[in-house]
C-alpha cells in the first residue's frame, strides 16, 4: 500500500507533506513574530476554520512551483490555494464521518521513507526533530497530519475503485486509437520579402513594440550564505564515532550474510486452542521424522500446506527478513547450516525451517572506507548545525531587516556580492531562478532583507539590495536593423497566409483539390494510413488531420495546419479507415482499459467531492 501511495505523489498525501515539510526554511521561526490572537478565518467549512496563514502557506507552495514563469496571476493563484484547502477539508470531514482508520505503523513507515528526513538514505531522527521544530510542529502533530492524508487517500481510492469500463467503451476507444486516415496536402513555405519599408513604417513598429526594445531592469545584491559542504569541512570526528558509523552503515560497504532456506508449513484447522495444538503436534511429528533421517524435501513435497514451495521441496530462496514475520526470521537466523528448527508459529500456521545454504558476509575493512565515513560523519554533524543556524539566520535578519551585519557578527558569516543581473538570468548564485525571483521582490527592492532562500538541502541565503537600475528604452537608431528584419518577416508570412487562404477559398467555392493546387503550381503529396502517433508527418498536420470531419462525397473538406515557421500545410482528408474493436497487442488493450478506468474514476471522485461540498455549509470570508 505504501508503494502505491508513493506512486500517487501528486495526491492528497503529497499535498500534506508539501505543506508541512516541502520547504524546511519557508517559515523559519516566523510564527514567533505573528500574534494570531483571535484571527478571523478565511473560510469556514462545516464547523472547522481555514485561516489566512493556511492559505498563505498553500499559496507560497504553488508559487514556488512556478518560479521562472512570467505573468503569474497571484490573485487567481491565491484563490486556487483557498479552493484546494476547502476541497481537502471537505474530503477530510467525509473520511472522519466514515471513521476510516490508519495504523500508526503505516504512518510511521511512510514518514521514514520521506527524503526530507533522511541522511545517506537512512531515516534521521535528529533531522526529523529539527525540521519539525523549525516549523513549530511536534512529531505527533506531523504524524497526525500524515494519518489524515492516508485516510483521505483511502476515501479517494475507494470511490475511484467503484468506476468501471464497459466492453463497448473499450471497443470504441480501440477503434478510435487504431483509426488511420489518408490525406493529400500541399506545402506553402514562407518566402523572402523584397518590400522596402520607410522610416515611418519603422517608427510606427518601434512605437507599437517599445516594450520589446528595452535594456532590461537590473539589480545587484549583497548576501550571506549558509553552505552545508563548507560547514562540514574541518569538523572533528572521533575514531570511536567513525567505527560506530561503520557498524551502522556496514551493509553499504559490502554484502551481509545471506541464507537460503526451506520450510514445511502446517496450517491450523480452526482458530481455537485444540486446532493450534493439533497443528503444532503435527509439525513436531514431522520434525522427529527429519531428525530420524527422513528427507526434508520429500516431506515438504508431500506434507507442506504451502502449495508453491512444497512443489520444490520447500525452497523459499534467500531469506528476506522484510518479507517474513519476526518469529520466522529470528528462527531462521539462529539455525546452523542443515539444521531444522522446532515448530515456529506465524499467522500462517506452524513452520519447520531448514537452512540449506549460507553465503558468508563480505565487507570492505574499516580502514578502506575510513575517509568516506569521515566525510559522511562530518556532513551528518554539519546538517544539525545547518538547520539550527538556518533558523537563527531567519530570526536575526527578520529582527534586523535593514542590514546583514547582525548575521555576520552573530554567525560569523561573510557578506558576498553579485554583479548586475536581470530577471531572466545571471552568473554565480543568481543563476538560480529562486534567488532572482526574491531579488526582484517588492520587499528587497524596498531595501529590506529577504526571507531565507533555500537552494536544495545544502544551501540557504538571505540577500538585500546593493544596486537597482530600472529598465530603459533602446534608441530607435540602435534597433532599426532589427525592426526592418521583423517587418520583412511579417510581410513574408502574410504573403504565405494570403496564398493559403486563397487556396482554401477556391476549394470551399467548389473547385476540387487537384485542380486548385495545380492552378497554384503546387505539387500535391499523398500519404495513406496515417496514425494518431505518426512521427513522420509534422505534429501540427497530424493533429489537424484527426480533428477534421469525415469527407462527404462530392464535397471538398479542406483544412490547414500552420507550422511554427509560418509554413502552411493545406490538406484534404481522402479517407477515414476505422480500426478494429480489439488490438492484437494485449498490453495496448490493457493500457486502454486502465486509461478509461482511471479517467472514469477521476470523474467519479470529482462528482463525489462536488456532492460532498454541496452538502456542507461553506462560508468564504477572505477578500478576493
Q: pLDDT by residue (tens digit) across 430-461?
A: 999 999 999 999 999 999 999 999 988 789 99
277 has pLDDT over 50: yes
- 565-583: per-residue pLDDT in tens? 999 999 999 888 888 777 7
Tell which wins on pLDDT, 558 or 584: 558
Question: Per DSSP, what are the bridge partners of residue 184?
Answer: 526, 572
pLDDT at 38 (0 to 100): 57
Mean pLDDT of 392-397: 92
- The confidence band for 301, taking pLDDT boundaries of 50, 70 and 90, is very high
Domain positions in the chain: 2-163+605-620, 180-213+476-577, 215-237+367-473, 257-360
pTM of structure: 0.52
Q: 528's torsion region: left (phi>0), alpha (psi -120 to 50) or beta?
A: beta
The answer to whether 383 touches 119, Cβ cutoff 8 Å, is: yes
Q: Where are the alpha helices (DSSP H) in 28-138?
A: 52-65, 74-97, 104-113, 125-134
Q: How far apart are CA 452 and CA 623, in angstroms?
A: 28
**Position with higher pLDDT, 252 vs 396:** 396
* CB distance 138 to 131 below 8 Å: no
296 has pLDDT over 90 = yes
Cα 432–chain centre separation: 20
**Whether the predicted pLDDT of 36 surpasses 70:** no
Give the model's pLDDT for residue 342.
Answer: 95
At residue 139, φ and ψ (nearest 5 deg) are -55, -35
Look-up: residue for cell 500535391? 524
pLDDT attached to residue 26: 34
Count the alpha carbons within 13 Å of 128 in the hemisphere toward its beta carbon: 19
How sure is the predictor about 70, in pLDDT bands with cuts at 50, 70 and 90?
Answer: low
Integer Cα distance of 437 and 419 in angstroms: 16
Helix (H, G, I), strand (E, B) or coil at 160: helix
Q: Mean of the pLDDT values across residues 283-305?
A: 94
- Dihedral over Cα of 267, 269, 270, 273: its sign: negative
Residue written as grid cell 477515414: 576
Range picked from 61-70, 138-147, 230-239, 350-359 for highest mean pLDDT: 350-359
Q: Helix, strand, coil proportions of the chain in percent (round to 5)?
A: 50, 15, 30
Are 411 and 390 contacting, i.e. CB atoms less than 8 angstroms apart?
no
Please name every residue paired with 224 in a beta bridge, in sequence order, or none if there are none.
Answer: 462
Task: Please name which of 445, 548, 537, 379 lies closest in space to residue 221, comparing C-alpha atoms.
Answer: 445
**Per-residue model confidence as pLDDT tens digits over 582-612:** 777 788 888 888 888 888 889 999 999 899 9
Helix residue ranges, H only, 161-268 = 167-177, 199-208, 228-232, 239-248
pLDDT for residue 14: 47
At 223-266, the pLDDT tens digits run 999 988 888 887 788 888 888 888 878 777 887 788 899 999 99
Residue 541 — pLDDT band, cuts 50, 70, 90?
A: very high
Residue 151 contacts residue 101 (beta carbons within 8 Å) = yes
Residues 113, 127: Cα–Cα separation, whole Å = 13
In this prediction, residue 246 carries a pLDDT of 83
Angle between helices 139-160 and 125-134 (to 10 degrees): 90
For residues 85 and 40, the model is more confident at 85
Q: Determine the average pLDDT of the residues in 415-421.
A: 96
Q: Look-up: residue for cell 477578500? A: 623
Q: What is the pLDDT of residue 394?
A: 92
Q: Which residue has the higher pLDDT, 26 or 494?
A: 494
Compute the distance between CA of residue 245 and CA of residue 379 in angstroms, rounded to an integer.
12
What is the Cα–Cα distance from 425 to 439, expressed in whole angstroms?
Answer: 12
Indicate the pLDDT class of residue 189, thresholds 50, 70 and 90.
Answer: very high
Cα distance between residue 363 and residue 256, in whole Å: 7
Residue among 157, 45, 155 nearest 94 (CA): 155
pLDDT given at position 216: 93
Q: Are 542 and 179 in contact (CB under 8 A)?
A: no
Q: Is 2-163+605-620 CATH 3.90.700.10?
A: no
| Stronger pLDDT, 623 or 413, i.e. the higher one | 413
Where residue 389 falls (left for φ over 0; alpha for ψ -120 to 50; beta otherwise) is alpha
Q: Which of 334, 367, 315 is nearest to 257 (CA)?
A: 334
DSSP structural state of residue 108: H
In whole numbers, what is the pLDDT of the chain averaged over residues? 85
Q: Which residue has the cell 572533528?
A: 236
- 66 pLDDT band, cuts 50/70/90, is low
Q: Are 382 and 458 in contact (CB under 8 A)?
A: no
Q: Is the pLDDT of residue 1 over 50?
A: no
More confident residue, 5 or 341: 341
d(CA 103, CA 87): 24
As a whole-number percent, the residues of the chain with pLDDT over 90 amount to: 42
Q: Does the pLDDT value for residue 489 go beyond 90?
A: yes
CATH fit for domain 257-360, picks 3.65.10.10, 3.10.50.40, 3.40.50.2300, 3.30.2020.10? 3.10.50.40
SS3 (DSSP) at 4? helix
Q: What is the pLDDT of residues 497-518, one digit of tens each?
A: 999 999 999 988 888 888 889 9
Q: CB of 418 within 8 A of CB of 438?
A: no
Amino acid at each position: 500500500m505504501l508503494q502505491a501511495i508513493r506512486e500517487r505523489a501528486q495526491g492528497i498525501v503529497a499535498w500534506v507533506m508539501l505543506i508541512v515539510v516541502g520547504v524546511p526554511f519557508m517559515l523559519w521561526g516566523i510564527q514567533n513574530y505573528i500574534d494570531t490572537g483571535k484571527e478571523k478565518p478565511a473560510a469556514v467549512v462545516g464547523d472547522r476554520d481555514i485561516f489566512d496563514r493556511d492559505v498563505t502557506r498553500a499559496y507560497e507552495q504553488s508559487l514556488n512551483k512556478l518560479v521562472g514563469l512570467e505573468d503569474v496571476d497571484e490573485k487567481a493563484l491565491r484563490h486556487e490555494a483557498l479552493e484546494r484547502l476547502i476541497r481537502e477539508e471537505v474530503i477530510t470531514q467525509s473520511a472522519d464521518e466514515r471513521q476510516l482508520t490508519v495504523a500508526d505503523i503505516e504512518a510511521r513507515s511512510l514518514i521514514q521513507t520521506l527524503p526530507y528526513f533522511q541522511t545517506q538514505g537512512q531515516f534521521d531522527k535528529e533531522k526529523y526533530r529539527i525540521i519539525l521544530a523549525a516549523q513549530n510542529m511536534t512529531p505527533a502533530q506531523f504524524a497526525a497530519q500524515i494519518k489524515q492524508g492516508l485516510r483521505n487517500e483511502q476515501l479517494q481510492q475507494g470511490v475511484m475503485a467503484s468506476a468501471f469500463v464497459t466492453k463497448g467503451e473499450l471497443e470504441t476507444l480501440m477503434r478510435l486509437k487504431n483509426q488511420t486516415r489518408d490525406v493529400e496536402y500541399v506545402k506553402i513555405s514562407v518566402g523572402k520579402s523584397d518590400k522596402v519599408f520607410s522610416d515611418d513604417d519603422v517608427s510606427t513598429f518601434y512605437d507599437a513594440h517599445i516594450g520589446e526594445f528595452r535594456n532590461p531592469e537590473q539589480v545587484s545584491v549583497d548576501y550571506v550564505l549558509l553552505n552545508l559542504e563548507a560547514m562540514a569541512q574541518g569538523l572533528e570526528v572521533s575514531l570511536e564515532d567513525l567505527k560506530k558509523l561503520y557498524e551502522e552503515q556496514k551493509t553499504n560497504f559490502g554484502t551481509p550474510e545471506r541464507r537460503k532456506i526451506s520450510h514445511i508449513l502446517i496450517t491450523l484447522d480452526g482458530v481455537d486452542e485444540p486446532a493450534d495444538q493439533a497443528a503444532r503436534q503435527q509439525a513436531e511429528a514431522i520434525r522427529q521424522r527429519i531428525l530420524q533421517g527422513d528427507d526434508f524435501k520429500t516431506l515438504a513435497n508431500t506434507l507442506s500446506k504451502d502449495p508453491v514451495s512444497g512443489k520444490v521441496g520447500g525452497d523459499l530462496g534467500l531469506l528476506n527478513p522484510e518479507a517474513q514475520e519476526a518469529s520466522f526470521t529470528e528462527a531462521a537466523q539462529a539455525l546452523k547450516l542443515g539444521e531444522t528448527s522446532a515448530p515456529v508459529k506465524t499467522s500462517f500456521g506452524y513452520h519447520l525451517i531448514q537452512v540449506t545454504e549460507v553465503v558468508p558476509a563480505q565487507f570492505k575493512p574499516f580502514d578502506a572506507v575510513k575517509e568516506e565515513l569521515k566525510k559522511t560523519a562530518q556532513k551528518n554533524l554539519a546538517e544539525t548545525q545547518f538547520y539550527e543556524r538556518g533558523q537563527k539566520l531567519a530570526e536575526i535578519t527578520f529582527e534586523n531587516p535593514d542590514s546583514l551585519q547582525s548575521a555576520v557578527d552573530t554567525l560569523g558569516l561573510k557578506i558576498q556580492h553579485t554583479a548586475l543581473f536581470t530577471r531572466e538570468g545571471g552568473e554565480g548564485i543568481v543563476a538560480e531562478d529562486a534567488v532572482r525571483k526574491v531579488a526582484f521582490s517588492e520587499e528587497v527592492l524596498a531595501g529590506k532583507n529577504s526571507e531565507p532562500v533555500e537552494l536544495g538541502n545544502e544551501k540557504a541565503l538571505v540577500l538585500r539590495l546593493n544596486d537597482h537600475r530600472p529598465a530603459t528604452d533602446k534608441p530607435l537608431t540602435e534597433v532599426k536593423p532589427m525592426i526592418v528584419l521583423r517587418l520583412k518577416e511579417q510581410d513574408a508570412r502574410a504573403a504565405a497566409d494570403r496564398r493559403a487562404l486563397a487556396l482554401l477559398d477556391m476549394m470551399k467555392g467548389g473547385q476540387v483539390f487537384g485542380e486548385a493546387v495545380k492552378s497554384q503550381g503546387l505539387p500535391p503529396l499523398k500519404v495513406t494510413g496515417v496514425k494518431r502517433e505518426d512521427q513522420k508527418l509534422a505534429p501540427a498536420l497530424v493533429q489537424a488531420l484527426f480533428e477534421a470531419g469525415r469527407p462527404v462525397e462530392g464535397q471538398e473538406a479542406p483544412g490547414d495546419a500552420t507550422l511554427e515557421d509560418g509554413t502552411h500545410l493545406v490538406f484534404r482528408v481522402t479517407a477515414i479507415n476505422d480500426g478494429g474493436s480489439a488490438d492484437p497487442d494485449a498490453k495496448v488493450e490493457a493500457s486502454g482499459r486502465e486509461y478509461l478506468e482511471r479517467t472514469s474514476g477521476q470523474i467519479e471522485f470529482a462528482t463525489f467531492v462536488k456532492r460532498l461540498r454541496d452538502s456542507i455549509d461553506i462560508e468564504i470570508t477572505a477578500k478576493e
